[in-house]
Structure 1
Amino acid sequence: MHLKDLVEHNAVVNLATLTSDKELIIDLQTRLSAIGFMPGTDISTAIDGVFGAATKDALDRFCKAAHLNNSSTGVFGATFARKLIDTRPPVMPVTPTLGAKKQPTSDALATALKFTLQWEGGYVNHPDDPGGATNKGVTQNTYNTYRINNRLPTQGVDRITDKEVHDIYFSMYWQPSQAPIMVLPLAIVHFDTAVNFGVGGAIEFLQEALGISADGIFGPGTQKALLAHNNAQTAQKIVRGRVNYRNQRVNSNPSQEVFLVGWLNRDNDLGGFLDSSNAGIA
């Protein structure tokens, strides 16, 4: 069994099953190592299919950082697996895109934030929003992860500071999404998509716009496709993909219709922002 099987089949396993399934343990160790929850371990020996003390400790710390109670309940299902699959490492080093017209990261991120923050607003906790409590676009779960990773006690996202907001957007969205290697129009759209859908979700939208298999992982194939299509046209394709996804989501879950107008207004505004002088790309 693999983590993706838990997601695709909405399956559930208990701790005894997990710790006796070598394939599942290897999958678990691979993801925990990739996202930095097994530091100081030799990856060649850490991924061995044995559920030892290091793996258990890494699993416990991941669940705490992700605000999941699976380590306590001993039950692991689709929500746990999806969260582990979607979580990305703080930095994914890649070869810089050749020939791209780039701005300094601070300038590009400031431009991207100019759009994103005008739509995120302040503290909200809508009962029908699966993301839960959110402030300036940062969910409570994301804030918990940030505070734990910085060895700080968790607290309500309503207390987040402007510095923490900037740090989170830079270290947990801008950098791991690979926005710095993109031309400005694409970086703006890709970053805002990462904030909306998570880094893995943003990479899937990018991959779909590039016409390649969408697995949410920025690997060599995605980088090669990006090299050939690192432009504003790809950015516009992502915006259209977002609009299509919003409508499909509401069709499959009518309770989300209350958000549809706001979502579509944001997507349409993003398309307009790409063409405006305010984005510095006209």
Structure 2
Amino acid sequence: MSRRLTVIIDELLDREGGYVDHADDKGGATMYGITEQVARLHGWDGKMQYMPKTLAVQIYKDQYWSAPNFDRVAMINQRIAEELLDTGVNMGVAVAAKMLQRSLNALNSQESYYADMLVDGIVGNTTLGALKHYLDRRQHHGEDVLMKALNCLQGARYITISEARERNESFLYGWLHHRIHL
């Protein structure tokens, strides 16, 4: 694992914290932000509070970085990839990928940079090509604008899910405080 990815995952582990079993969290108990369901899929059969940090790191690397191709996004733009990882951990990697695709389509100046893509939640060659074209075209401000678009979509989703399920209000302040960056 690269030194940079190690730092990114360590920061993510700090944000997620250790063992949590909040009554309002429909996902149940977590350790380092990993749900019991995900831990079981990766072979953990013990109590969640004893899941080792090394397993959490491996899960983040495999399921939330490499599998959704966020590692390939990092080859184009590290900051965008880190945002996708963070969003993917908190909302699901397909949701994060769809936010990227929607943002790139909307920032495409009526398809003058590249053809709009299908918003399918899969970061493949089309999404990666669009990201590269967008950043090449928009230069240094493009990254900032795309980050704002991703954070706007993420914040709107947090509010929507809190409106839909009152118990999610227990988490809204923290989500907005720790996950949305200006």
Query: 1:134: Cα distance to partner?
Result: 0.5
Match of residue 172, structure 2, among 232, 236, 260: 260
Larger radius of gyration: 1
Pick the structure with more helix per residue: 2
- CA positional deviation for 1:256: 1.1
Residues 202-225 of structure 1 deviation map (CA, whole Å, 9 limit, x = unaligned): 211211221244221223432322
Instruction: Indicate the SS of the match to 1:235.
Output: helix
Contact kept in structure 1, 2:32 and 2:53, CA below 8 Å: no
Q: CA deviation at 1:195?
A: 0.8
Tell me the TM-score normalized by structure 1. 0.53
Q: How many residues align?
A: 161
* Runs of 5+ consecutive residues of structure 2 not aligned to the other structure: 106-116, 136-141
**What does residue 204 of structure 1 align with?**
98
Identity %: 28
- Give the TM-score, by structure 2 length: 0.79
Closer, same or farther in 2 for the Cα pair 1:240/1:202, shift >3 Å?
Answer: same
Equivalent in the alignment of 2:68 = 177
Retained in 2: the 8 A contact 1:119–1:266? Answer: yes
Supply the AA of the counterpart residue of 2:42.
Y
Counterpart selection for 2:149 from 210, 217, 237: 237
Aligned-pair CA distance for 1:156? 2.1
Specify every segment of 5 or more residues in structure 1 that has no aligned partner in the other structure, as ranges. 1-104, 148-152, 273-282
1:128 to 24, 29, 34: 24
Q: 2:56 aligns with which of 165, 181, 184?
A: 165
2:119 is paired with a residue whose SS is coil
1:224 aligned onto 2:115:
no
Mapped to 1, the partners of 2:62 and 2:126 lie a distance apart of 24
Q: 1:113 aligns with which of 9, 18, 26?
A: 9
2:45 to 142, 145, 154: 154
Does the CA-based 8 Å contact 1:177-1:194 persist in structure 2? no
CA RMSD for the aligned pairs? 1.9
